[in-house]
Amino acid sequence: MAGCEYVAYCGQLSGMSFRQARQRAHEILDLVGMGQERYRSVDTYSTGMRQRVKLAQALVHDPEVIFLDEPTNGLDPSGREHILRLIGSLWHDLGISVVISSHLLQDIERICDRVIIIAHGRLLEHDSIEALKNRHRRIVELAPAAETERFQAVLVEAGLKVERRSNGRLRVESASDSIEWVLELMRTHQLPPAEVVSNPNALHELFVQALATDHGSKP
């Protein structure tokens, strides 16, 4: 079947008339960024195109909630960006709740409001993204544009624990929820500009910690 035929067929399976399903299929295929490819046979699609058409068939009948399993799998960077923006807009623009299962935690952190961590059939964590991140120890990563050694020396002199990462970033444990202290140090010591990331990989570390705790609690 061609992509548009497949999505229209899924609409009919949900109780839509042929005319309604065909019209809605083209609207949704536009939404997910499928152009003339919609007229090609689905078995000729790339992995990324199949991900888009699968999302379209899930949306064609205007559901109240959809479940997505690894929705960005196989997508190139531009395709991944498009799908993430689209998924993030489903609730705000269309009122559709989305449940995502994914091992790409940076995607979850970016577009989800709440997180559920399950292992071995047990619920380990269930909270908002913000609440989970606030329980994480305060970490800041800095990527100085230049003078990394002097940057590190200033941080150490300020009494901070600094770790030099293999990618050249400086990982610092902070006693504050704000990054204002970083900016103040940079101004005082006339340090070069730097990218400042608060609580990087917080969700990943919380996930690993939850699994470790669960494993340690087993008899």
Q: Are residues 187 and 146 in the same domain?
A: yes
Instruction: Confirm whether 204 is domain-assigned.
Output: no
Q: Are residues 101 and 143 in the same domain?
A: no
Q: Are residues 59 and 108 in the same domain?
A: yes
Domain boundary residue, one of 112, 146, 174: 112
Q: Are residues 12 and 61 in the same domain?
A: yes
Question: Taking 60 as the threshold, does the pLDDT of residue 67 lie above it?
Answer: yes
What percent of the chain clears pLDDT 90, i.e. is strictly above it?
Answer: 32
Instruction: Confirm whether 167 is domain-assigned.
Output: yes
Q: Are residues 31 and 96 in the same domain?
A: yes
Please report the pLDDT score of residue 177 as a whole number. Answer: 64
Q: Are residues 16 and 85 in the same domain?
A: yes
**pTM (2 d.p.):** 0.65
Give me the number of domains the chain comprises. 2
Instruction: Confirm whether 191 is domain-assigned.
Output: yes
Instruction: Confirm whether 171 is domain-assigned.
Output: yes
138, 174 contact by CB (below 8 A): yes
What percent of the chain clears pLDDT 70, i.e. is strictly above it?
Answer: 90
CA distances from 75 to 28, 51, 55, 56, 123 (A): 19, 8, 13, 15, 30
Q: Are residues 82 and 147 in the same domain?
A: no
Q: What is the pLDDT of residues 199-208, one digit of tens each?
A: 666 677 677 7
Q: 51: which 2 tokens? A: 């991900």
Nearest to 60 by CA among 111, 12, 2, 1: 12
More confidently predicted of 12 and 198: 12
Range of the domain at 99: 3-112
The secondary structure element, H or E, covering residue 175 is none
Q: Are residues 106 and 164 in the same domain?
A: no
Q: What is the pLDDT of residues 140-154, one digit of tens each?
A: 888 888 888 998 899
Q: Are residues 81 and 177 in the same domain?
A: no
Q: Are residues 99 and 176 in the same domain?
A: no
- CATH code of the domain containing 179: 3.30.70.1280
Q: What is the pLDDT of residues 93-140, one digit of tens each?
A: 888 999 999 888 888 888 889 988 888 888 888 888 777 766 666 778
DSSP code per residue over 138-173: -EEEEEESS-HHHHHHHHHHTT--EEE-TTS-EEEE
Cα 2 to Cα 8: distance, rounded to the nearest angstrom? 10
Instruction: Confirm whether 148 is domain-assigned.
Output: yes
- CATH code of the domain containing 64: 3.40.50.300
Q: Are residues 144 and 48 in the same domain?
A: no
Instruction: Confirm whether 203 is domain-assigned.
Output: no
Q: What is the pLDDT of residues 160-170, one digit of tens each?
A: 888 888 888 88
Instruction: Confirm whether 208 is domain-assigned.
Output: no
154, 189 contact by CB (below 8 A): yes
Q: Are residues 82 and 159 in the same domain?
A: no
Instruction: Confirm whether 12 is domain-assigned.
Output: yes
